[in-house]
Amino acid sequence: MILARVIGTVVATRKDDRLNGSKLQIVQPVSLGDMSPDGKPLVAIDAVGAGEGEIVMICAGSSARQTSRTKDTPCDAVIMAIIDSLDVGGRQVYSKSQAR
Amino acid sequence: MILARVIGTVVATRKDDRLNGSKLQIVQPVSLGDMSPDGKPLVAIDAVGAGEGEIVMICAGSSARQTSRTKDTPCDAVIMAIIDSLDVGGRQVYSKSQAR
Amino acid sequence: MILARVIGTVVATRKDDRLNGSKLQIVQPVSLGDMSPDGKPLVAIDAVGAGEGEIVMICAGSSARQTSRTKDTPCDAVIMAIIDSLDVGGRQVYSKSQAR
Amino acid sequence: MILARVIGTVVATRKDDRLNGSKLQIVQPVSLGDMSPDGKPLVAIDAVGAGEGEIVMICAGSSARQTSRTKDTPCDAVIMAIIDSLDVGGRQVYSKSQAR
Amino acid sequence: MILARVIGTVVATRKDDRLNGSKLQIVQPVSLGDMSPDGKPLVAIDAVGAGEGEIVMICAGSSARQTSRTKDTPCDAVIMAIIDSLDVGGRQVYSKSQAR
């Protein structure tokens, strides 16, 4: 899985029926160190109610359909966790409570 | 999922039977900011009736078979939504009604 | 899906049983504009009887097992259509009948 | 599969229910020669009880759901083995017992 | 599928139960022309009994679980054929019997 920051939303009226009720978020992958942007933004279905600015975990591919929110939907990327903290090499490199 | 612009079509008479009746569109991935071309064009099956020039959402991999149009077909990319608008950082960066 | 040109063949006597009878083609991905080589060649199972030099459509991943030829086989890339023509921006950029 | 070094952990309270009880490790892919960092770190669910600093094998995609730990979970990367040793060209390039 | 040369082996005692009895080979992807190294080495489960130095075909993703050896195992890459020969543009670019 990768980590990403929620940076925006997508609105689409005309879409496959199975997307009805799904929230489409734009997420920016981040570096697992200083949490800076790293890679291209993508669109993910939100299964946990994430808010803009939060660091989230993205599951991609067929496994993106394994949440109750995304089961049997045309979804190749899902937000399935909101990150509280990140430790690398015994040092905390991110804490949600201390993030701006 | 990624966003892309519909830029063309593919015609193929000799093909796997399960593709019969499917419209094959050429889509150009775009940047989720200024909507400029970003990455290589690909071919996707159209599940929502998109027209040339429209910004669409592409679902890839096994999840591309989760629309009623693409179920059980050899399809690794499907157009499953037409984008109305896009907000990044609280600012609208794309609106279909205002697009040229 | 991507488009590619058939450029060669692979022979393998010792292989998984489910590959018996499958034709293994070498395909060179091409640019969806001038049809020039673009990316690394790969090996695909031929489900439509393509010949060397033809432009074909490749389906990758689990969807490559959705043709009758490749069902339940260890196959991650299949040739599932032979391209007749390609239109980009209202202009025909490829026509099989006019190709050399 | 790829090899990677366990370098950290992720804590997430708010997450899809099926992740409950799963340990989320941060892993750094390594070169299969001198075992130096090679590529971007990612998050994987630990199915074998790996510790920080150990070299592990990562299985990605839908196959990441094939361990008893990850069955039916939104997981696209799993730690499914701890590496004892690695031989390349008849020479041992890594041995866990001799690693620092 | 891609072609690769078998260059080594991996030993792992602590692993998911479903890997028991599987041989883990290190394979180096090769160019489909002069068969020189091209891309990063990876680990694959051997389903055909390949030996070091042989050119093999690798199937990746969920299709890697379609051999009898890898069914229901956490495996995202499998060796499922040993290559005898390769023709590109009507010219034989590789023959196992003439390889060193």
Q: Which CATH architecture has domain D2-98?
A: Beta Barrel (2.40)
Q: Are strands B24-29 and D2-11 parallel, antiparallel or unpaired?
A: unpaired
Confidence of residue D98 (pLDDT cuts 50, 70, 90): confident
Provide, as residue numbers in chain A, all residues whose Cβ is less than 8 Å from the Cβ of D72: 66
ipTM associated with this complex = 0.95
**For range A46-74, the mean pLDDT:** 96
Mutation target vs E (from D80, D97, D98; most E CBs, 10 A cutoff): D80
Q: Is B36's pLDDT higher than 80?
A: yes
Buried b (16+ CB within 10 A) or exposed e, A4-41: bbbbbbbebeebbebbeebebbbbbbbebbebeebeeb
The residue ranges of DSSP E strands in C1-100, in sequence order, are: 2-11, 14-15, 24-29, 42-46, 55-60, 77-82, 85-88, 91-95
Q: Is D100's pLDDT higher than 70?
A: no
The pair phi, psi for residue C64, each rounded to 5°, is -65, -15
pLDDT at D37: 97
* Chain centroid offset of residue E61 CA: 13
Per-residue pLDDT of chain C (100 residues), as tens digits, is 999 999 999 999 999 999 999 999 999 999 998 999 999 999 999 999 999 999 999 999 999 999 999 999 999 999 999 999 999 999 999 999 987 5
Q: What number of other Cβ atoms are within 10 A of residue B29's Cβ?
A: 17
For the stretch C54-71, pLDDT in tens is 999 999 999 999 999 999
**For range B80-97, the mean pLDDT:** 96
Q: Do E61 and D57 touch (CB under 8 A)?
A: no
- List, for chain E, all residue ranges whose pLDDT scores fall below the cut of 50: none
pLDDT at C56: 98
Mean of all residue pLDDT scores within chain A: 96
CA B96/CA E71 separation, integer angstroms = 47
Structure tokens at B8: 């063309």
Instruction: For residue A78, give the H/E element and its range.
Output: strand A77-82
Confidence of residue A98 (pLDDT cuts 50, 70, 90): confident
Structure tokens at A54: 């939060």
- Its sign, for the CA torsion C91, C92, C94, C98, is negative
For the stretch D32-75, pLDDT in tens is 989 999 999 999 999 999 999 999 999 999 999 999 999 999 99
Cβ neighbours for E20, distance < 8 A, ≥ 6 positions apart: none
The residue ranges of DSSP E strands in chain D, in sequence order, are: 2-11, 14-15, 24-29, 42-46, 55-60, 77-82, 85-88, 91-95
Domain boundaries, chain A: 2-98
The single-letter DSSP state of residue B30 is B
**For range A52-67, the mean pLDDT:** 97
- Identify which of A31, A49, A81 has the shortest CB distance to residue D12: A81
**For range B48-66, the mean pLDDT:** 97
**What burial class does residue B1 get, using C-beta atoms within 10 Å of its C-beta: 0-12 exposed, 13-18 middle, 19+ buried?**
buried
Chain E: give the shortest CA distance to residue D52, in Å: 15
Interface of B with C in 8-67 (CB under 8 A): 8-19, 24, 26, 40-44, 52, 61-62, 64-65
pLDDT at E98: 86
**For range D87-93, the mean pLDDT:** 95
pLDDT at E100: 56
Structure tokens at C20: 């018996």
- Identify which of D1, D31, D93 has the shortest CB distance to residue E43: D1
- Chain A: partners with 3+ C-beta pairs within 8 Å: B, D
